[in-house]
């Protein structure tokens, strides 16, 4: 459960596709990730990836659709509070103007209209676990 | 042809160039896209990594929205979205109790009968002959490394598309447009997917191998059909070059870019000028420098370094 490989896995599905016994290895990785977060045993090296996935889901719960700017801000902030790395905090700061110049960047992201239903869907799926 | 359209977050975010080019192509090919009303995110890697129920419920709500809005077929041009949608559909089809409980969770009846198409499948549906007939500028200078990545063909039991190890569907399209394709080794390897922000090192390593292998086999561009692949191979290419001390200068096109160019669109009309690896790099690789019809107007000097003001393909 503390193995690096659980969070290093990029879910490329190659293992599941090639398994001669048709084991859904990628699905096993998903299950291990879920258990690892539930039990709070992810190691510090793995935390950045966990924090990213959590920030992603909070963003969806709030907006219905991903707001990339908000996600990056939230991910960077939660990572900084976790590991106090200023270099990581500032690492992608130069990306924003480059994306803006290419009109690939939205200051105001899209939102789904019915966001109340999202809150209910998340509550039903997540039981008592927090994001 | 009328089709439901599920853009997904990427195509309405930083991969809006993908949406621009596919909309341009499909309008010309007489395909009308109707964006499904009030779609939500499919949950992507975050959902299947953290919560199994969400990983089914989020795509299931989108299936239900499209079905309730009267559609039987839906285009999902992002392979992450289409795989998640298909995976949810399969899970619901196999388990009636799950289908009923998920319908309650998402507050809509999910029948799970909607056909979900990726962009390659849509071009196949339009037909290679129809594509050929519409070509105005054959892609004769293209030596494309068609890159499938992970989720277009995997998991095979979910997406049921092409061959998971040796796919050929993209090559057939590029060749129908007059382009050449190269045989290479990394067509279905992973680029690092959604690790772009959280674990950049993973992306740099995997994407560097892909770019290097494509170049070693004589490719002068990569063709992708996935917004995440495009981000990692195009946007991150400068970081890869810096990290490994190499120069790739490899243009990365969406499949709809090369279709659009062959249909006679200017690169700017497709958003190709908004890619990170720019026209000068494309020209250096010999793309668009032959006597082929894709030859665009003479390259003008870009406004700044890496400013892709004049796309050329």
pLDDT tens digits for range A10-22: 999 999 999 999 9
In chain B, which residues fall in CATH 3.40.50.11810? 133-284
Q: Minimal Cα distance from A102: which residue of B?
A: B274
pLDDT, tens digit, 9 for 90 and up, residues B80-90:
999 999 999 99
| Among B residues 68-127, those touching chain A with beta carbons less than 8 Å apart | 105-107
Residue A64 sits at φ, ψ, to 5 deg, of 85, -35
The CATH architecture assigned to B2-117 reads Up-down Bundle (1.20)
Question: What was the pLDDT predicted at B304?
Answer: 34
The residue ranges of DSSP E strands in A1-131, in sequence order, are none
pLDDT of amino acid A44: 76
Extended beta strands in chain B, E state = 2-5, 32-35, 73-75, 115-117, 143-146, 180-181, 221-224, 252-254
Residues of A in contact with B235 (CB under 8 A): 95
Residue B308 pLDDT: 52
What six digits make up the tokens of B275? Answer: 């890619």
pLDDT of residue B280: 64
Summary mean pLDDT of chain A = 92
Query: Which of the following CATH numbers is that of domain B133-284: 3.40.50.11810, 1.10.760.10, 1.20.120.80, 3.40.50.920?
Result: 3.40.50.11810
Element (H, E) at A81: helix A68-83
Measure the CA–CA gap between A108 and A68, rounded to whole angstroms: 10
Per-residue pLDDT at B288: 56
Closest Cβ–Cβ partner in B53, B198, B307 for A49:
B198
For residue range B136-154, list pLDDT tens digits in order. 999 999 999 999 999 999 9
CB < 8 Å to B310, chain A: none
Helix crossing, B52-68 with A115-126: angle to 10°?
Answer: 140
Non-local (6+) Cβ contacts of B68 within 8 A are: B108, B109
CA–CA distance, B60 with B112 (Å, rounded to integer) = 8
Among A33, A75, A114, whose Cβ lies nearest the Cβ of B197? A75
Inform me whether the pLDDT recorded for B287 exceeds 50.
yes
CB-CB neighbors (< 8 A) of A106 in chain B: 13
The residues pairing with B35 across neighbouring beta strands, listed in sequence order, are B5
Distance CA B220, CA B144 (A): 6
- Listed in order, the ranges of chain B carrying CATH 1.20.1050.140 are 2-117
Compute, in degrees rounded to 10, the torsion defined by CA atoms B139, B29, B281, B240: -120
Cα B21 from chain centre: 11
Question: Taking Cα atoms as reference points, which of B38, B77, B84, B35 lies closest to residue B60?
Answer: B84
pTM for the predicted model, two decimal places: 0.93
Provide the percentage of residues in chain B whose pLDDT is more than 70.
89
Q: What is the rounded end-to-end Cα distance, in angstroms, of chain A?
A: 19
B contact residues 31-60, partner A, Cβ 8 Å cutoff? 38-41, 43-55, 57-58
Tens of pLDDT, residues B16-60: 999 999 999 999 999 999 999 999 999 999 999 999 999 999 999
Radius of gyration of chain B (CA): 19
Quickly count helices (H) and strands (E) in chain A: 8, 0
Which of B94, B97, B86 lies closest to B56 in space, CA to CA?
Answer: B86
In Å, how far is B188's CA from the nearest CA of chain A? Answer: 9
- Whether A104 and chain B come into contact, CB under 8 Å, resolves to yes
């Amino acid at each position: 459960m503390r193995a690096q490989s659980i969070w290093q896995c990029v879910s490329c599905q190659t293992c599941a596709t090639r398994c001669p016994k048709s084991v859904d290895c990628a699905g096993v990785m998903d299950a291990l990730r879920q258990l690892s977060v539930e039990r709070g045993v992810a190691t510090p090296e793995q935390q950045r990836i966990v924090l990213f996935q959590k920030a992603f889901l909070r963003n969806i719960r709030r907006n219905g659709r991903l707001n990339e700017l908000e996600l990056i801000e939230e991910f960077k902030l939660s990572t900084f509070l976790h590991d106090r790395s200023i270099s990581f905090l500032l690492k992608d700061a130069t990306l924003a103007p480059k994306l803006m110049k290419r009109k690939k960047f939205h200051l105001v992201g899209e939102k789904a209209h019915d966001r109340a239903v999202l809150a209910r869907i998340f509550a039903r799926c997540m039981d008592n676990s927090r994001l | 042809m009328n089709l439901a359209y599920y853009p997904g977050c990427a195509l309405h975010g930083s991969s809006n160039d993908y949406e621009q080019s596919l909309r341009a192509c499909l309008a010309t090919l007489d395909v009308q896209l109707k964006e499904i009303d009030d779609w939500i995110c499919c949950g992507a890697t975050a959902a299947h990594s953290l919560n199994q129920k969400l990983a089914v419920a989020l795509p299931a709500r989108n299936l239900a929205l499209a079905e309730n809005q009267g559609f039987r077929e839906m285009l999902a041009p992002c392979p992450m979205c289409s795989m998640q949608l298909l995976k949810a559909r399969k899970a619901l089809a196999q388990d009636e109790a799950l289908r009923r409980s998920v319908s309650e969770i998402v507050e809509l009846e999910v029948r799970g009968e909607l056909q979900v198409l990726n962009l390659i499948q849509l071009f196949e549906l339009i037909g290679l002959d129809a594509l050929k007939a519409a070509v105005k500028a054959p892609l004769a200078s293209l030596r494309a490394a068609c890159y499938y990545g992970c989720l277009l063909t995997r998991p095979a039991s979910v997406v049921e598309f092409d061959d998971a190890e040796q796919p050929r569907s993209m090559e057939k399209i590029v060749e129908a447009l007059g382009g050449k394709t190269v045989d290479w080794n990394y067509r279905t390897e992973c680029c690092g997917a959604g690790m772009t922000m959280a674990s950049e090192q993973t992306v740099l390593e995997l994407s560097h191998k892909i770019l290097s292998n494509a170049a070693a086999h004589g490719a002068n561009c990569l063709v992708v059909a996935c917004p995440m692949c495009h981000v990692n191979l195009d946007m991150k290419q400068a970081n890869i070059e810096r990290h490994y001390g190499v120069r790739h200068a490899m243009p990365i096109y969406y499949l709809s870019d090369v279709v659009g160019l062959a249909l006679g669109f200017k690169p700017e009309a497709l958003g190709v000028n908004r890619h990170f690896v720019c026209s000068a790099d494309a020209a250096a690789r010999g793309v668009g420098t032959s006597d082929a019809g894709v030859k665009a107007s003479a390259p003008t000097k870009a406004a700044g370094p890496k400013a892709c003001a004049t796309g050329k393909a």
